[in-house]
Each structure stands twice: as C-alpha cells, then as structure tokens.
Amino acid sequence: MTSLSLIDVRKSYGATPVLDGVTLEMGDCEFIAFLGPSGSGKSTLLRIIAGLEMADSGEVWLEGKRIDALAPGGRGVALVFQQYALYPHMTVRENMAFGLRNAKVPNTEIAARITQAAQTLEIDQLLDRKPGQLSGGQRQRVAIGRAIVKEPKLFLLDEPLSNLDAALRNRTRVELAQLRQRVRAAVIMVTHDQAEAMTLADRIVVMNDRKIQQVGAPMEIYDRPANRFVARFVGSPA
Ligand code: ADP
Ligand code: MG
C-alpha cells in the first residue's frame, strides 16, 4: 500500500522557484530521510505536505486520499520542526492534549494516549512542568510526543535532532528507530547528518537545485550516485 504520493509539486515565492516538480511515492510505514544543502526546498516541501503552505501546482495524496485542500489538522500528518513551538504557558500534558481537544477526541482517550507516549519517550515525570522548566532535549521529546498522540499516518520531522548535543542525539536516534516499530506510520525526516540518514532510513532522497536528484536505498545512493552532485554530496568514491 502506498502511504504518501507527491505528483509534480511546484512552488515559487514570488518570482523565485523553490520546488521544480517534485514527484515521490512512499511505501506503507516507510522511513525516508531527506538530504540536501540548505535552501534546496526540504522544509518547504514538508510544510506543503503538512498543509502550512500551498503548492502552486501538483498533488499530495495520503493513503489513497487527496489531501491538498484539507486543513492541516485534518490531514493525518504531524510535523515536528527544529524550533519546537511548545506553548510556554501550558504544561507538557496540556501541550500534548491541545490538538486532540480541538479534534474532539474524548478526554479518557486523550489521557490514555498521553500516558502511552510519555512512557515511550520517558517524559512521564515531566507532564506537569512547563516548557521553561525543561532542557532543550526534553522539549524536543515533548514536541515528538505531541506529534505521536495525534496518531498520524505520516510523521514529518524537520531536522528534529539538530539542536541536541551529541550524546542526546544518539539516544534519541535509537529511540526514533524503536518508536518506528511501535507506532505504525510512515516517516519523512530531514537531516543534515548523513550517518543518521544511512542508519535510520529505508530510502534516502537527495535534493538540490529545487529538485529530487536521486531516491534510493542508502547503499545504492552511496555506491551508484545518479550524478556528480550526489556523488560529491554523499562523498562516494564515484
Ligand atoms: P531547506 O529546508 O532545504 O533549507 P527551504 O525550504 O527552507 O530549504 O527554502 C528553500 C528556498 O525557499 C530558500 O531559498 C528560502 O530562502 C526560500 N523560502 C523559504 N520560505 C520562504 C518564504 N516564506 N518566503 C520567501 N522565500 C522563502
Ligand atoms: Mg530546512
């Protein structure tokens, strides 16, 4: 079964093209990592999939349903980005519950999902704190937890680990891999860390120049880069 389909997605800001026809098919529960230099359109693509930005043309499908015109909350997609925007005046629990209340999820169900996600992410001791009382790493876990409780069909992670120190990044990386087994969902993760992409992803998408340069399994990208840009970018010997 296909999870996400992007068909010829195009976007310009004014006269400046940012995405020049992006087409991609994701498998069910697939984990795809996006690599590419800054400014290549990765975040814009994620924002389009999440519904925070409109494409100029093209189609976005999720599990057989066209979602381009749906509101962000109704798409079955959760976006976690690096400036994890938690509500500062709410506790961790309230931050996690907020989107679910808006979606009219019953209170008992909300409580159950928060308990489960908090255990998974080991933030169960932090539920009554406010974001200001948390470390950067803890805040990032809460942001991931807030995405998990939505039970999305697709997680979009935009450099979710880039603000963490090396030790915490390693730990969270392992947790992401485990989490993936537990929450059955597809994942797109933007990262600038190639090792991270290689270890976590089923397939890697390399972007440059407003376009996808190559899609393939990690070793395939490395062993058989599609062009000089990819070869140089992933540092393969070709
Ligand atoms: P990446 O995430 O790969 O670094 P982005 O998607 O953030 O790339 O940006 C792609 C291009 O679009 C960049 O040149 C950026 O300056 C431009 N851009 C992104 N958002 C906006 C915006 N809201 N208005 C104008 N230009 C934007
Ligand atoms: Mg970005």
Give residue ranges with CB within 6 A of ligand 1. 13, 18, 36, 38-44
For residue 135, pLDDT over 70 is answered with: yes
Q: How far, in Å, is the centroid of ligand 2 from the Cα of 52?
A: 14
Work out the mean pLDDT of the chain and round it to a whole number: 91
Q: Residue 84: pLDDT band by 50, 70, 90 thresholds?
A: low
Q: Going by CA atoms, what residue is nearest to atom 26 of ligand 1?
A: 13
199 has pLDDT over 60? yes
48-57: average pLDDT: 96
Least confident of 53-57, 58-62, 121-125, 167-171: 167-171
Distance 105 CA to ligand 1 centre (A): 34
Q: Which residues surround ligand 2, an ion (CB under 5 A)?
A: 43
Among 83, 79, 123, smallest CA distance to 99 is for 79
Q: How far does residue 41's CA lie from ligand 1's centre (Å)?
A: 6
Q: What is the pLDDT of residues 142-166, one digit of tens each?
A: 998 898 898 889 999 998 877 777 8
- Alpha carbons 236 and 238: distance in angstroms, whole number: 6
Name residue, tokens 């039970």. Answer: 151
pLDDT at 87: 92
- Spacing, Cα 47 to ligand 2 middle (Å): 10
Mutate-to-test residue for ligand 1 from 10, 16, 40, 44, highest number of ligand atoms within 8 A of CB: 44
**Mean pLDDT calculated for residue range 45-67:** 96
Pairing of the two strands 203-208 and 186-190:
unpaired
151 alpha carbon, distance to own chain's centre: 13
Task: Confirm if 99 and 151 have CB atoms less than 8 A apart.
Answer: no
Q: Do residues 35 and 194 touch, judged by C-beta distance below 8 A? A: yes
| Contact predicate 43/119, CB 8 Å | no
Examine the pLDDT at 50 and tell me if it is beyond 90.
yes
Cα distance from N-terminal residue to C-terminal residue, the chain:
34
ipTM metric:
0.98
Residue 77, pLDDT score = 94
CA distance 121 to 124: 8
How does residue 237 score in pLDDT terms, banded at 50, 70 and 90?
low
Q: Which atom of ligand 1 is nearest to the CA of 37?
A: 3
Confidence of residue 119 (pLDDT cuts 50, 70, 90): confident
Report the percentage of the chain scoring pLDDT > 90: 66
Q: Distance between CA 131 and CA 127 in Å, rounded?
A: 10
- For ligand 1, atom 15, name the residue with the nearest CA: 39
**For residue 191, what pLDDT is reported?**
92
Q: Using 50, 70 and 90 to split pLDDT, how confident is the model at 115?
A: very high
Q: Which residue has the higher pLDDT, 106 or 167?
A: 106
- Return the residue whose CA atom lies nearest to atom 12 of ligand 1: 18
pLDDT at 175: 72
pLDDT confidence band for 167 (50 / 70 / 90): confident
Q: What is the C-alpha to C-alpha distance for residues 114 and 106, in angstroms, rounded to an integer? A: 12
Between the CA of 7 and the centroid of ligand 1 the distance, in Å, is 20
Check: CB of residue 5 under 8 Å from CB of residue 61. yes
Residue 38 alpha carbon, nearest atom of ligand 1: 4
Kindly list the distances between the CA atom of residue 137 and the CA atoms of 90, 95, 172, 235, in Å, as whole numbers in the listed order. 18, 16, 9, 30
**DSSP collapsed to 3 states, the chain:** CEEEEEEEEEEEECCEEEEEEEEEEEECCCEEEEECCCCCCHHHHHHHHHCCCCCCEEEEEECCEECCCCCHHHCCEEEEECCCCCCCCCCHHHHHHHHHHHCCCCHHHHHHHHHHHHHHCCCHHHCCCCHHHCCHHHHHHHHHHHHHCCCCCEEEEECCCCCCCHHHHHHHHHHHHHHHHHCCCEEEEECCCHHHHHHHCCEEEEEECCEEEEEECHHHHHHCCCCHHHHHHHCCCC
